[in-house]
Amino acid sequence: MRTNHEIDYKIYGEEMQYVEVELDPSETAIAEAGSFMMMDDGVQMATIFGDGSQQQSGFLGKLMSAGKRLLTGESLFMTAFTNIGGGKKRVSFASPYPGKIIPLDLQQQGTIICQKDAFLCAAKGVSVGIALQRRLGTGLFGGEGFIMQKLEGDGMAFMHAGGHVFERILQPGEMLKIDTGCVVGYTQGIDFDIQFVGGIRNTLFGGEGLFFATLRGPGKVWIQTLPVSRLASRILSYGTSQRKEEGSLLGGLGNLLDGDGN
């Protein structure tokens, strides 16, 4: 038996996905502010302090939950969507950038550690807390800092990530080296650490950063091909620097042809 609300869902789309959650009467879904897309008449939206989970009962528990969310860079508040009508009602949440939505059945997966901005929505009762990095080096150079999000409970939760997303199951002792920004989340049994790339040429000219993330099994890892930080840096560099061909006659002609000649 689940202690969290039991919700059904369907994911739509390819590059810009959204998840449609189906609520029975009195069932509730929680979501980060800004992820709401649409809902049926009969669904009531309410702002709650903390994540509304059983672990945060009472004022002190709610205050601690909200404080933890501040540490992960999120708002003090979350939004709850409750079916107050009769029959099934639907509410939908959209991914904030191109990528994939990852459904997680926490009853089967157990506790999930994920990026600070990966959580999208969940059934009411799922605890959205913090996971502190145990090693100093991992916190300083691991790409996600000392604090990540921790999803606990026995309900459905949803993460989102950039680009294509895939899973890797690591056997006991098996290790995977990965770019620090490409780690979306992992099960609690995974040992997460960082490793220096090594080699003077790799360090100075490699262009891939100074550290790998190392993930050692047993457990499951979710990996993204396009971290939002990488996407943002490419867009920023394109918008704030001159294009390589702008100083040439042919380059100027090309800009006119593609609409950038103003």
Written as six digits, the tokens of 85 are: 């009508």
b/e code 196-232 from CB counts within 10 Å (16+ = b) = eeeeeeeeeeeeeeebbbbbbbebbbbbbebbbebee
pLDDT (tens digit, 9 = 90+) per residue, 199-227?
Answer: 555 444 444 456 788 899 999 999 999 88
Whether this model's pTM surpasses 0.85: no
Among the listed residues 116, 121, 81, 84, the one whose alpha carbon sits nearest the alpha carbon of residue 101: 121
Long-range Cβ contact pairs of 206-209 (< 8 A, separation 24 or more): 208/179, 209/179, 209/180
What is the arithmetic mean of pLDDT over 229-243?
69
What's the pLDDT band for 126 if we cut at 50, 70, 90?
very high
How far is it, in rounded angstroms, from Cα 10 to Cα 21? 7
What fold, for 8-241? Answer: Double-stranded beta-helix (3.60.160)
H helices, E strands: number in the chain: 6, 19
pLDDT (tens digit, 9 = 90+) per residue, 19-32?
Answer: 999 999 999 999 98
How far is it, in rounded angstroms, from Cα 211 to Cα 228? 18
How far is it, in rounded angstroms, from Cα 218 to Cα 215? 9
**What is residue 69's predicted lDDT score, i.e. its pLDDT?**
55
- Res. 116: pLDDT tops 50: yes
pLDDT (tens digit, 9 = 90+) per residue, 37-58?
Answer: 999 999 999 988 777 775 555 5
CB atoms within 10 A of CB 33: 12
pLDDT (tens digit, 9 = 90+) per residue, 134-191?
Answer: 554 544 444 444 578 899 999 999 999 999 999 999 999 999 998 888 999 999 999 9
Pairing, β 112-114 against β 77-83: unpaired
pLDDT, greater one: 7 or 132: 7
Which residue has 């990530």 as its token pair?
Answer: 161
Written as six digits, the tokens of 35 are: 């992820």
C-beta separation of 149 from 130 below 8 A: yes
pLDDT (tens digit, 9 = 90+) per residue, 84-103?
Answer: 998 999 999 998 888 999 99
Domains of the chain, by residue range, sit at 8-241
